[in-house]
Structure 1
Amino acid sequence: MNRKRWIRWAVGTALVGLGLLVGLGKLSRSWTYQLFGEIYPRVETSERVVALTFDDGPKPGQTEEILGILKRHGVKASFFMVGRRIERSPELAARVLAEGHQVGNHSYSHRRLVLKSPSYVQEEIDKTDALLRGLGVQGELLFRAPFGKKLVVLPWLLSRSGRKHITFDVVSRDDETQDVGLLTSRVMESVRPGSIILFHDGGQDKPGTVQAVDIVVGKLKAQGYRFVTVSELLALGGITPASGTITASTAPAAN
């Protein structure tokens, strides 16, 4: 191969590789598409109904504030919990369930499940599943990837076991800012019937999130929106639980 041909080949190969990397990056960040299985960023419906979701908890001092707001407004939400944080605050995790909210799996360590071995990813799922069952969660366990990131292994493992991957179509980005006005406007400008809204009750302290959730819930209720859990939203869209699961989610009986 002469020098010019070698250069053309090298440049072409580099461009193909760059394009592949860009494509994989977009795939890993997509809220609406994955290579295998079921992914749900929202549900198609004309009914004014939304699912409010919280990631990364439970966190003492913060999850309680969110629960208080939800109770005052009389609405239910879905909490995607991290296994390690359940271990640190089992009573708080149990309280979320006892107050009628849905609890889902957000991995054990909250590390990105991208470019990890199948055994590593499966362990992240299984350890948190076991903790959720220990709390008394019954029925289908929904999953949300840390940071919403996935490539091949995670979707393949979820699809193999009939698991649903729940993402979102309305993102407050409260992991980037605690400006209450900005958080509120981001949600209100993007929400529509069937939306799945993302906030966080874990991580760094989020006083702006607490205020924004209060405002957003009030505004949406005033617009005629009804709040349901993710499983209830899926059911409204005709999406049924995985085969062999129990449809009810109940807390353990109080002592």
Structure 2
Amino acid sequence: MITLVRCTALVALLGAALTACGTTEAPRRPAASTASSASSAKPSVPTLAPGPAGLTPVFEHGPRTAGRTVALTFDADMTADQGPRAAAGEHFDNPSLIAALRELKVPATVFMTGRWAEEYPDQARALGRDRLFEVANHSYSHYAFTADCYGLPTVDRGRMRADVERAYAAFREAGVRDPMPYFRFPGGCHDPAALKELAAAGVTAVQWDVVSGDAFATDPDAVARQVLDGVRPGSVVVLHCTRSAAPVTEAAVRAVVPELRRQGYRFVKVSELVGSGNART
């Protein structure tokens, strides 16, 4: 656990002090492709300082001792080659889940692939403009950044950064406002080589410490139990926003939210956890 210290000086004046600060404040647009267009008037969000040897930093959960906070995160998955399946009627979105989160007033972070944003631009834009949510990057293609990652196709090492930047371009095309400088590896699979390739993209990699088990699940009660058994203060829970691959997520969320609130938990976005503390791999 590393205590997070907010930096309040202007980035231009930080210089070498960044190393001592532990985190940096980054524009809500990724440095790799939009830094030149980011206005100083844009809101800023916390990111982590680079890891050892300048590698992309990795965030897993918030502090365990700073109150009962928990972040629900939803992966909006769609791989680059699934267009024909969507055209045939398969649903990679989940509007009723998003409606449930709004009804329950649960803030959340949605890790979206660029391909999902292209398929559902209206929904992507609505998520990006709703203060209840923040949109972060889940790659463009949802191809893996390592070999042997749950059977996913893999991105060539030399194309990894371009794949992340292509997702941000898809968000802009869909009208998503100020996507976060956070990135979730498809399948969560990463290694030092992938962290090195993404270092110049200026993102913080966000993992999780609670696996919901909602992917391909058929029993919402089992998913809810797995989440409730795993949550601790500062937890990041990984769920999915894809009807065809995670059909019981909404029902599980409707069970989890009131119970965690009964236990005294407060739901937050990932940015709040990053802003209060971090654990690094």
Per the TM alignment, residue 173 of structure 1 is displaced from its structure 2 partner at its CA by: 1.5
Question: 5+ unaligned residues in a row in structure 2: which ranges?
Answer: 1-50, 79-89, 148-154
Give the structure 1 partner of residue 11 of structure 2: none
Which letter maps to 1:51?
A
Separation of aligned partners in 2, 1:201 and 1:136: 17
Distance 1:187 1:238, change over 3 A: closer
Query: Is the alpha carbon distance of 1:64 and 1:158 closer, same or farther for their aligned partners in structure 2, counting shifts above 3 Å?
Result: same
Moved over 6 A (4+): none
- Partner-residue secondary structure (3-state), 2:100: helix
Aligned-partner Cα distance in 2 for 1:208–1:238: 30
Amino acid at match of 2:72: L
**Over aligned residues, Cα RMSD in angstroms?**
2.5
Partner of 1:56: 76
Q: Please, which of 62, 65, 85 is the counterpart of residue 43 of structure 1? A: 62
Show the 5 A alignment for 1:55-74: 55-57=75-77, 62-74=93-105
- Which residue among 141, 163, 166 is the counterpart of 1:124? 163
1:2-151 superposed matches below 5 A: 36-46=55-65, 47-57=67-77, 62-100=93-131, 101-115=133-147, 116-134=155-173, 135-138=175-178, 140-151=180-191
User: What TM-score results when the alignment is normalised by the length of structure 1?
Assistant: 0.74
Cα distance between partner residues in 1 of 2:185 and 2:225: 25
Q: Secondary structure at the match of 1:202?
A: coil
SS at match of 1:199: strand
Q: Deviations over 1:95-121 (max 9, x none)?
A: 112222010110111111125433321
Q: Is the 8 A contact 1:82 1:109 kept in 2?
A: yes
Could you say which residue in structure 1 is the equivalent of 2:208?
Answer: 168
- Whether the 8 Å contact between 1:57 and 1:203 is mirrored in structure 2 is no
CA distance in 1, matches of 2:230, 2:278: 23
Give the structure with the higher percent helix: 1
Structure with higher Rg: it is: 1
Amino acid at match of 2:60: P
Q: Would the aligned equivalents of 2:136 and 2:183 in 1 still touch at CA under 8 Å?
A: yes
1:148-159 map, 5 Å? 148-159=188-199
Q: Distance in 2 between matches of 1:203 and 1:148?
A: 20
List per-residue Cα deviations over 1:77-96 (Å, max 9, x = no partner).
00000111110110011111
1:217-251 CA deviation, whole Å, 9 max, x = no partner? Answer: 11111111111111111112279xxxxxxxxxxxx
Structure 1 CA distance, aligned partners of 2:176 and 2:183?
Answer: 17
Q: Please give the alpha-carbon distance, in whole angstroms, between the structure 2 residues aligned to 1:198 and 1:209.
A: 11
| Partner-residue secondary structure (3-state), 2:101 | helix
SS at match of 1:54: strand
Q: TM-score, normalised by structure 2?
A: 0.67
The aligned length equals: 207
CA distance, structure 2, for counterparts of residue 67 and residue 131 of structure 1: 20
Q: Contact 1:173/1:199 (CA < 8 Å) preserved in 2?
A: yes
Contact 2:92 2:242 in 1 (8 A): no
Partner SS state of residue 275, structure 2: helix
Contact 1:51-1:194 at 8 Å conserved across structures: yes
